[in-house]
Chains A and B, each alone.
Chain A
Amino acid sequence: MSTGNEMLLEKLQANFNEVEPPLSHQEAFEEASRCLYCYDAPCITACPTGIEIPSFIKKIASDNLLGSARKIMEANPVGASCARVCPTEELCEGACVLNGSTQPIMIGKLQRYATDWAIHNEKVLFKSGKPNGKSVGVIGGGPAGLSAARELGLMGYGVTIYEAEEEAGGLDTYGIVSFRLPKRVSFWEVDQVKQVGVDIRTNTRVGRDVSLEELKENHDAVILSVGMSDVPMLGIEGEELNGVHDAIEFVKQTKSGQLSQAFAGKKGVVIGAGNTAIDGATCAVRLGAENMKILYRRSEKEMTAYDFEYEFAKQDGVEFRWLTAPKRLIGDEAGNVCAIECEKMELGEADADGRRRPMPIPDSTFTLEVDFVIKAIGQTRYTDLLEQFNIHHDGGVVTLNDDRFETSVNNVFSCGDVIFGKGQGEAMVVTASEQGKQTAYQVHEKLSGLQAESTA
Chain B
Amino acid sequence: MYTNVAGIKSPNPFWLASAPPTNSGYQVQRAFEAGWGGAVWKTLGEPIINTSSRFAAVSFNGQRVAGFNNIELITDRPLEVNLREIEETKLRFPDHAIIASLMVEPEQEKWHEIVKRVEAVGVDGLELNFGCPHGMAERGMGAASGQVPELVEKQTYWVKEVAQTPVIVKLTPNITDITVTAESAVQGGADAVSMINTINSLAGVDIHTWNTVPNVDGKGAHGGYCGPAVKPIALNMVAECARNPSINVPISGIGGIGDWQNTVEFMLMGASGVQVCTAAMHHGFSIVEDMIDGLSNYLDEKGIGSVQEIIGKTVPKYSDWGDMDLNYQTVARINNDVCINCNKCHIACEDTAHQCIDMLKGEDGEPILQVREEECVGCNLCSIVCPVDGAIDMIEKDNNLPPLSWNTRQNAINAKSLANS
Contact = CB atoms under 8 A, between A and B. Distances in A.
Contacts of B388: 100-101
Contact of A101 (B340, B344, B347): B340
A40 B340 contact: no
Interface residues of A, number: 16
B359 A101 contact: no
A30 B387 CA distance: 16
A409 interface: no
Contacts of A40: 343, 346-347, 359
Contact of B340 (A30, A33, A39, A98): A98
Given A101-B387, A101-B388, A38 B343 contact: yes
Given A36-B387, A101-B387, A101-B388, A42 B341 contact: yes
Nearest to A61: B61
Chain A: interface secondary structure?
helix
Interface string A16-37: 0000000000000110011011
A97 interface: yes
B415 interface: no
A30 B346 CA distance: 26
Contacts of A97: 340-342
Most buried by B among A34, A39, A41, A61: A39
Given A101-B387, A101-B388, A38 B61 contact: no
B62 interface: yes
Contacts of B342: 36, 38-39, 41, 97
Interface in A67-105: 97-98, 100-101
A30 to B, nearest CB: 5
Nearest to A29: B62
B347 A100 contact: no
Contacts of B387: 36, 101
Contacts, number: 36
B94 to A, nearest CB: 46
B344 A38 contact: yes
Nearest to B343: A39
A40 B358 CA distance: 13
A61 B340 CA distance: 23
Interface string A27-71: 001100110111111100000000000000000010000000000
Contacts of A36: 342, 344, 387
Nearest to A99: B340
Contact of B346 (A39, A41, A101): A39
Nearest to B387: A36
A295 B240 CA distance: 78
A28 B340 CA distance: 24
A42 B340 CA distance: 11
Interface residues of B, number: 12
Contacts of A30: 62
Nearest to A63: B207
Nearest to A37: B344
Nearest to A33: B62
Interface in B190-249: none
Nearest to B339: A100
A439 B359 CA distance: 33
Contacts of B340: 97-98, 100-101
A98 B340 CA distance: 7
A38 B359 CA distance: 13
A42 B343 CA distance: 10
A100 B344 CA distance: 15
Nearest to B386: A36
Contacts of A98: 340
User: Looking at B341, B342, B359, which has the most chain A CB atoms within 10 Å of its CB?
Assistant: B342
A207 B387 CA distance: 58
Interface in B41-78: 61-62
Contacts of A61: 61-62
A171 to B, nearest CB: 35
Nearest to B391: A101
B9 to A, nearest CB: 44
A37 B342 CA distance: 8
Contacts of B347: 39-40
B33 to A, nearest CB: 33
A39 B344 CA distance: 6
Contacts of B61: 33, 61
Interface string B268-309: 000000000000000000000000000000000000000000
A356 to B, nearest CB: 31
Interface string A97-119: 11011000000000000000000
Interface in B372-403: 387-388
A61 B61 CA distance: 8
A101 to B, nearest CB: 5
Contacts of A37: 344
Nearest to A34: B62
Interface in B93-126: none
A101 B342 CA distance: 11
B13 to A, nearest CB: 34
Contacts of B343: 38-41
B58 to A, nearest CB: 14
Nearest to A38: B342
A79 to B, nearest CB: 24
A40 B62 CA distance: 24
A98 B347 CA distance: 18
A419 to B, nearest CB: 30
B63 to A, nearest CB: 8
A266 to B, nearest CB: 49
A113 to B, nearest CB: 15
B197 to A, nearest CB: 31
Interface centre among B61, B340, B341 (most CB of A within 10 A): B340
Contacts of B344: 36-39
B273 to A, nearest CB: 35
A57 B359 CA distance: 24
B74 to A, nearest CB: 36
A435 to B, nearest CB: 27
Given A36-B342, A38-B342, A100-B340, 20 more contacts: A29-B62, A30-B62, A33-B61, A33-B62, A37-B344, A38-B344, A39-B343, A39-B344, A39-B347, A40-B346, A40-B347, A41-B342, A42-B341, A61-B62, A97-B341, A97-B342, A98-B340, A101-B340, A101-B387, A101-B388
20 contacts: A33-B61, A33-B62, A34-B62, A38-B341, A38-B343, A39-B342, A39-B346, A40-B343, A40-B346, A40-B347, A41-B342, A41-B343, A42-B341, A61-B61, A61-B62, A97-B340, A97-B341, A97-B342, A100-B340, A101-B387
Lowest 4 A-B CB distances belong to which pairs? A39-B347, A33-B62, A39-B343, A38-B342
Interface of A: 29-30, 33-34, 36-42, 61, 97-98, 100-101
